[in-house]
Amino acid sequence: MDSRKRLEELRLLLAEHSQRYYVLDDPVISDGEYDHLFQELLEIEEKHPEWITPDSPSLRVGGAPLEKFSQVAHRLPMLSLENAFGDQDLLAFEDRLLRFLHQDDPPEYLAEPKLDGLAVELVYEGGVLIQGSTRGNGEVGEDITAQLRTVSSIPLRLRKGDRARLEVRGEVFMERAGLVALNGQRAAAGEPLFANPRNAAAGSLRQLDPAITAQRPLRFFVYGVSEPSVSGCRNQQELLNFLADLGLPVNSHVRFCPDMATVISHFAELAALRHELAYEIDGMVVKVNDFSLQARLGSKARAPRWAIACKFPAIQATTRIITVDFQVGRTGAVTPVAILEPVDVGGVMVSRATLHNGDEIERKGLHKGDTVLVQRAGDVIPEIVKAVVEKRDGSEEVIVMPTSCPVCSHPLLKPEGEAVTRCPNPHCPAQRLRSLVHFCSKAGLDIEGLGKKSVEQLFELKLIQDLPDIFFLKKEDLSSLEGWGEKSAENVLAAVNGAKTPSLSRFVAALGIRHVGEVTASLLERSFHSLESLIQATVDDLVEIEGLGEQVAQSTVEYFSDPAVQQMFVKFQQAGVQPQVESLDKKKLLLSGEVLLFTGSLKKLSRTEAKKMVKDHGGEITSGVTKKLTCLVVGEKPGSKLKKAQELGKKILTEDEFLQLVESV
């Protein structure tokens, strides 16, 4: 047979047998027969490397090591989920849904196991896997295409792969047995062990050398796509069946639930079953099944309204509080942290646990020296549940919040109505240091070479004291420092120079404004076309942005009004720091200066699609009929907003008129 034809035949055979083995758990040939076919494919590709394609099974063994991961912007955000911790939280979730939908009939649900792994996005074009990335911050992740190609349960080519583009989302994980085997290998090699399957999966996918990832026993389950509408499916249940038909692995414990009572019942069943599964799950994800209802419900800044993650009761253990440290954060919050006798909690050694604030300490009645019950909330974050009072012997000491800052000695404040004690001194070294660390970190500008230890070193030597100082560093400042050299100094300065033109959202998130994280910063960037306009924004301007509340608005305005901050921006300007906003073409400028609101039932668009169109064309969205509103788009049964807009003389468009407007360019 012609070698080219045989190669195509082998690819199809190996893809089919991988599907049967890793996805369907129904192999029809032996491992030896599979290995023989695979070796034959490798021999042909070795002779004809120009025939290797992105869907070749040979890519399962990994490619050339990467120097570093590049960044991938998700076309649509990968949102996180709000949490529930029991029956009452699930019932409250349904109540919120019904209030938002203005209906009495409860929706139907789909319940899916919540895997304890790493969320990823897979992009297929023409049925072929062309890109894979981590969730990252939801907006931007790391490009791990080469690593994901080595995961055997991820198809390199989809069945029925005639679709132009499909963005698939799911979870990569490691089974318990795989972790045991991997840790056995690492122990024999004298390498540190992975604490749990999630850490092992995340660490394996973040290997720069894909060949190392290929040796790790990783698996994958799909749970959705970025845009359900492209599938032609009407609900989540149909979508998962559709994805399974394409050859993607779907978890067998997904359940359709006609009502919340069934959801609650299935949660109890899954909790009882969790320890019998080959892999770890830490809860159950509950989704409104119907996509039209999902579209009506939409999303908040960080999470969709139509889904919730219900967590299993946390894993617990008993230990003792040795002492309490008080840490000062970048916003001045003073957080008590319990130093514990190390204890294994569900496979993770825990030696520290946050006590949150003074009110929490008082509520739980905690003392130094107490024997305490510790748990990993949601199986992840260590926290102290309670003191075991029966074990007290009289040597315990009451934990008292300090009255002065443990770093700068400035008197502390506890604002009325707040639980957090704060250091109000803006020059507090701890706040400035943590702000600098955050500014340079992955959550900030991600300046390579300026990790926590390097920033602490430069701060201690007074080479950097505020954020703009980073951009005034010189080679001679760095190259002579302990642990540095000319090359490392050059690399850091190149990274610093490259950070002078960040996106506006990244820059705002890096500033560390209280209550303003990456998602909120993205909302601000979409609503303001320059840093200057954001700095001049009022509280009223900010609360008009969907997804932003008054607390965020007040905090943002207070930050930019601070004279010290204003002086800091003068230094940024002197250093040549210029945050960038995506330039708008003529099409996107169509709605520039317009503030729109949608009311009533839309027939041709979901609310999410309609709002995206406005933002894509340079407009803004508001949540109410105010003076700022310039145009109201009405669907069926628009209600009181139409009347109020007419009274204020606002422009009124039907859904069809709005579509004609945005499609006219």
Please state, as a whole number, how many other Cβ atoms lie within 10 Å of the Cβ of residue 350.
Answer: 20
Residues 483 and 527 sit within 8 Å (Cβ to Cβ): no
Q: How many CA atoms lie within 13 A of 637 on its CB side?
A: 3
- The identity of residue 396, as a single letter, is E
d(C-alpha 602, C-alpha 296), whole Å: 9
Q: Would you say how long the chain is, in residues?
A: 665
CA–CA distance from 471 to each of 443, 485, 575 (Å)? 18, 19, 6
**Phi-psi label, residue 657: left if phi above 0, alpha if psi -120 to 50, beta otherwise:** alpha
Cα separations in angstroms, 396 against 321, 337, 375, 387: 10, 17, 21, 11
Residues ≥6 apart with Cβ < 8 Å to 240: 110, 222, 223, 250, 254
Q: What is the pairing mode between strands 620-621 and 595-599?
A: parallel
Give residue 315's pLDDT.
74
- Res. 30 pLDDT band, cuts 50 70 90: low
- Give the C-alpha distances (Å, rounded to integers) separating 47 from 4, 43, 52, 198, 394: 11, 7, 10, 39, 79
Q: Which residues contact 125 (CB under 8 A, 6 or more apart)?
A: 164, 165, 166
pLDDT (0 to 100) of residue 24 = 58
Q: How far apart are the C-alpha atoms of 257 and 259, rounded to whole Å?
A: 5
Residue 369 or 40, more confident: 369
With contact defined as beta carbons under 8 Å apart, do 635 and 627 qualify? no
Q: How far apart are CA 38 and CA 146, in angstroms?
A: 19
Q: Give the largest CA-CA distance in the chain.
A: 86
The pLDDT tens digits of the residues spanning 581-613 come to 765 454 456 787 788 888 887 877 777 678 778
- Which of 68, 114, 311, 487 is labelled catalytic? 114
Contacts of 650 by beta carbon, 8 Å cutoff, 6+ apart = 625, 629, 630, 631, 632
Structure-block tokens of residue 269: 């069943």
Locate 105 and state its tokens.
Answer: 């009939």
Nearest alpha-carbon partner for 328 in 316, 336, 340: 336
pLDDT value, residue 1: 63
pLDDT tens across 205-260, in order? 988 888 888 889 999 999 999 999 888 899 999 999 999 999 999 999 999 999 99
Range 284-310 average pLDDT: 91
Return the CATH fold of 315-398: OB fold (Dihydrolipoamide Acetyltransferase, E2P) (2.40.50)
The predicted-structure confidence for 427-466, as pLDDT tens digits, reads as follows 899 999 999 999 999 889 999 999 999 999 999 999 999 9
CATH number at 588-662: 3.40.50.10190
**Are 374 and 382 in contact, with CB atoms under 8 Å apart?**
yes
C-beta of residue 15 within 8 angstroms of C-beta of residue 157 = yes
In whole angstroms, give the CA distance from residue 296 to residue 37: 50
**Whether the Cβ atoms of residue 314 and residue 105 lie closer than 8 Å to each other:** no
Q: Is the pLDDT of residue 118 over 80?
A: yes
**Which residue ranges make up each domain of the chain?**
3-52, 83-311, 315-398, 429-498, 504-574, 588-662
CATH topology (fold) of 504-574: DNA polymerase; domain 1 (1.10.150)
Of the candidates 586, 639, 653, the residue with the CA atom closest to the CA atom of residue 102: 639
Q: Give residue for tokens 């790391």.
A: 142
Alpha carbon distance 507, 534 (integer Å): 12
- Residue (of 159, 162, 166) closest to 130 by Cα position: 166
- For a pLDDT cut of 70, what percent of the chain falls above it? 92
- Report whether 162 contacts 127 (CB < 8 A): yes
Question: Is the model more confident about 38 or about 331?
Answer: 331
Q: How much is the pLDDT for 59?
A: 63
Q: Look up residue 628 and give its two tokens.
A: 């700022």
* Cβ neighbours of residue 365 closer than 8 Å, sequence gap 6 or more: 387, 389
Global pTM? 0.57
Domain 429-498, CATH among 3.40.50.1820, 2.60.40.10, 1.10.10.10, 1.10.150.20: 1.10.150.20
> Catalytic residue at 114?
yes
588-662 has the same fold as 3-52: no
At the top level of CATH, the class of 83-311 is: alpha beta
414 vs 198, which has greater pLDDT?
414
Residues 6+ apart with CB under 8 A from 405: 328, 334, 411, 412, 423, 425, 428, 430
The highest-level CATH class for domain 3-52 is mainly alpha
